[in-house]
Amino acid sequence: MSFFDIFYPTKCILCGKITNDKGICESCGDQLNGAAALSHRIITVGKLEIPCYSLYEYKNATVKKLVVYLKKHNNKKIYEYLAQKFCCIIQKDLNQFNNACVTFVPRTKSSLQTNGFDQAELLAKETAKALKSASFQKLLRRKSHTSEQKFLSRQEREKNAKNMVTLRSKNALPKSVILMDDVITTGSTAKACVNELVQNGTENIVCLFISETALR
């Protein structure tokens, strides 16, 4: 323990207890591991079947706390913690994406203005770094008229999601893309992003999320 640690001990971001770990204590880490999503889902976009992997089940209280925390805090340690978890998934199940371009589902303008940063962007950046041979690019941006998905019903989400994103530039897109976001609910936002990417030249996509939830 260093001098600095004695006077400014690290507190677990989830329970507040003093911890020697990287921002998440052992007990909260165990609770997150216990909420691991056991299978991945598939979203279909046209003829394509896109695998979607999540680290955790959103219904777990500790997972919910983590997702809420990330919206408000730009804490590098926590993004590094999660990036390592995503690396494990890629190295175990998705080796073909080792050299892919990592990008993210962009926030709405209003959400960016409220929080000052995009948690999915930070997640994608850190995951690209952790993968070592992957790259990071901002490929998509939100169109200004779309509203937040979380306040909408399933039907409204589908409608709102169509045409919600567009490419940031006219440069050729990478062939393989890892698309990241914090939560997947119906998958309609992810679908809109996948659609935009495949229509413009991307061939292989996998989606990675911190957590997944069933729509109420």
**Shortest distance (Å) from residue 114 CB to Zn ion:** 26
**Shortest distance (Å) from residue 64 CB to Zn ion:** 14
Among 28, 45, 82, 102, binds Zn ion (CB under 5 A): 28
Helices 76-93, 61-72: inter-axial angle, 10-degree rounding: 120
Task: Considering only the stretches 22-30, 64-72, 104-112, 182-190, report the one whose residues sit in contact with Zn ion under the rule CB under 5 A.
Answer: 22-30
How far, in Å, CA of 84 to CA of 77, rounded? 11
- The type of residue at 20 is N
Q: Which is nearer to Zn ion, 20 or 169 (CB)?
A: 20
Based on the shown chain and the rule CB under 5 A, indicate whether residue 198 belongs to the binding site for Zn ion.
no
Based on the shown chain and the rule CB under 5 A, indicate whether residue 94 belongs to the binding site for Zn ion.
no
Based on the shown chain and the rule CB under 5 A, indicate whether residue 131 belongs to the binding site for Zn ion.
no
Task: Considering only the stretches 14-22, 49-57, 143-151, 173-181, report the one whose residues sit in contact with Zn ion under the rule CB under 5 A.
Answer: 14-22
Residue 28: which H helix or E strand, with range?
helix 26-34
Give 197-200's long-range contacts (Cβ < 8 A, gap of 24+).
197/139, 197/140, 197/173, 198/45, 198/46, 198/48, 200/167, 200/173
Beta bridge partners of 50: 43
**Shortest distance (Å) from residue 171 CB to Zn ion:** 43
Contact footprint for Zn ion (CB under 5 A) = 12, 14-15, 25, 28
